[in-house]
């Protein structure tokens, strides 16, 4: 079919991850697919040692440093294995002195991270919101000094909570899983020892994990650490120790260029707050829907909500789909719905969702 006749059928995709990407990025990737920068090949087919790819990976790093204002004493790594591999990589590399870490449990992901770390050393669960089905973020003020790091999951993708404060861990490095909130709001990187994020929520397609680590924390890995799980080798080799996920890094670069063109993190954060306010106001002004977490700890990125009448769930999802609003089914541990409204979700998408919700309420009350 000729291009002109092909109908674009883009939906508003509220999936938690992999998730929606900016249309401009997809179009540029499409334009450059067969012939990247006059090379006569796509980035998928290109040597990771080529000059063109070298420019891509260096640009990606430069843009991340610029957008997140990352200080020079931090290394950036582009790794594979998802955020889940960081659950092992963090303890293997950071259990240097005490072989002990404090974990705050705020959901399924932090629990998995803690379980994995307990294979390599002692895990002290210093706080947990499990008793209330992770509907809030515990506030911890005091951290015993006998730990190599403190681990938090900053945004809880499944439960829809998010830290609104940075725990003050003193001299103990703070490690944060930011898979679902990286680049969504301004953060002070210098408050963290290490940040990691799977790319498939806010950065790029799946297959890439971003790690930002303070340089003094690199190189102290345990003897048993497999070479592919050493931060040092990846940091020393500029993430080119072995073949990196080249295509995903290329898309990441396009997403970062898109973010910069929008005006950077401040503009993105303001957009995200506008989108989240619109949706949360809709939930708060209705007794047909109900948000599932305490208001103070609500996530800007993942908005779980339930219908007071659970029998309407299927109807809600089916009707939404016919209007081009998809992937709204909640995670089984919360039930109901979840709208993930990452950076690439336009305001119009949330507007359309809220209009749909109001109409659905009127018709089914």
Give the active site residues: 109, 177, 201
Is 192 one of the binding residues for ligand PLP (CB under 6 A)?
A: no
Is 202 one of the binding residues for ligand PLP (CB under 6 A)?
A: no
β-pairing verdict for 74-79 and 209-214: antiparallel
Separation CA 177–CA 194 (nearest Å): 9
Nearer to ligand PLP, 177 or 230 (CB): 177
The answer to whether 302 and 343 have CB atoms below 8 angstroms apart is: no
Is 104 one of the binding residues for ligand PLP (CB under 6 A)?
A: no
β-pairing verdict for 209-214 and 194-198: antiparallel
Is 220 one of the binding residues for ligand PLP (CB under 6 A)?
A: no
Q: Which stretch binds ligand PLP (CB under 6 A): 56-64, 67-75, 138-146, 174-182?
A: 174-182
Is 83 one of the binding residues for ligand PLP (CB under 6 A)?
A: yes
Nearer to ligand PLP, 81 or 219 (CB): 81
The answer to whether 91 and 117 have CB atoms below 8 angstroms apart is: yes
The answer to whether 107 and 158 have CB atoms below 8 angstroms apart is: yes
Size of the site for ligand PLP (CB under 6 A): 12
The answer to whether 196 and 83 have CB atoms below 8 angstroms apart is: yes
Which 260-279 residues touch ligand PLP, going by CB under 6 A?
Answer: none
- Kind and range of the H or E element at 252? helix 246-262
Separation CA 31–CA 38 (nearest Å): 12
Separation CA 54–CA 4 (nearest Å): 35
Is 230 one of the binding residues for ligand PLP (CB under 6 A)?
A: no
Instruction: At 327, list the tokens.
Output: 């992937």
- The single residue among 20, 157, 162, 239 that binds ligand PLP, judged by CB under 6 A, is 157
Residue 146 beta carbon to ligand PLP: minimum distance, rounded to whole angstroms: 26
Is 109 one of the binding residues for ligand PLP (CB under 6 A)?
A: yes
Q: Which stretch binds ligand PLP (CB under 6 A): 80-88, 120-128, 184-192, 336-344?
A: 80-88
Instruction: Note the residues at the interface with ligand PLP (CB under 6 A).
Output: 17, 82-84, 109, 153, 157, 177, 179-180, 198, 201
């Amino acid at each position: 079919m000729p291009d002109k006749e092909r109908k674009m059928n883009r939906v508003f995709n509220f999936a938690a991850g992999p998730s929606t990407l900016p249309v401009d990025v997809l179009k540029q990737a499409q334009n450059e697919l067969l012939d990247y920068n006059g090379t006569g090949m796509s980035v998928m087919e290109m040597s990771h040692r080529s000059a063109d790819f070298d420019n891509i990976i260096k640009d990606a790093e430069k843009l991340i440093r610029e957008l997140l204002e990352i200080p020079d004493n931090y290394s950036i790594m582009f790794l594979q294995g998802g955020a889940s591999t960081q659950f092992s990589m963090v303890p293997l590399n950071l259990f240097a002195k005490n072989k002990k870490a404090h974990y705050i449990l705020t959901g399924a992901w932090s629990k998995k991270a803690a379980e994995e770390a307990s294979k390599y050393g002692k895990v002290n669960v210093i706080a947990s919101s499990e008793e209330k089905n992770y509907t809030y973020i515990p506030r911890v003020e005091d951290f015993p000094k006998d730990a190599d790091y403190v681990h938090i999951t900053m945004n809880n993708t499944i439960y829809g909570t998010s830290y609104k404060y940075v725990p003050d861990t003193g001299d103990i490095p703070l490690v944060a899983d930011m898979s679902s909130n990286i680049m969504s709001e301004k953060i002070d990187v210098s408050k963290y020892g290490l940040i990691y994020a799977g790319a498939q929520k806010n950065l790029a397609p799946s297959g890439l994990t971003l790690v930002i680590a303070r340089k003094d924390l690199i190189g102290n890995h345990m003897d048993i650490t497999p070479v592919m799980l050493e931060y040092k080798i990846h940091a020393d080799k500029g993430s080119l120790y072995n073949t990196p996920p080249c295509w995903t890094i290329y898309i990441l670069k396009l997403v970062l260029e898109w973010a910069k063109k929008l005006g950077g993190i401040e503009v993105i954060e303001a957009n995200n707050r506008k989108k989240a306010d619109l949706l949360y106001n809709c939930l708060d002004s209705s007794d047909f829907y109900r948000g599932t977490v305490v208001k103070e700890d609500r996530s800007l990125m993942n908005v779980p909500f339930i219908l007071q009448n659970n029998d309407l769930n299927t109807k809600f999802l089916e009707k939404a789909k016919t209007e081009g609003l998809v992937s709204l089914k909640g995670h089984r541990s919360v039930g109901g719905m979840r709208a993930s409204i990452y950076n690439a979700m336009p305001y119009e998408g949330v507007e359309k969702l809220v209009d749909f919700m109001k109409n659905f309420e009127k018709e089914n009350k």
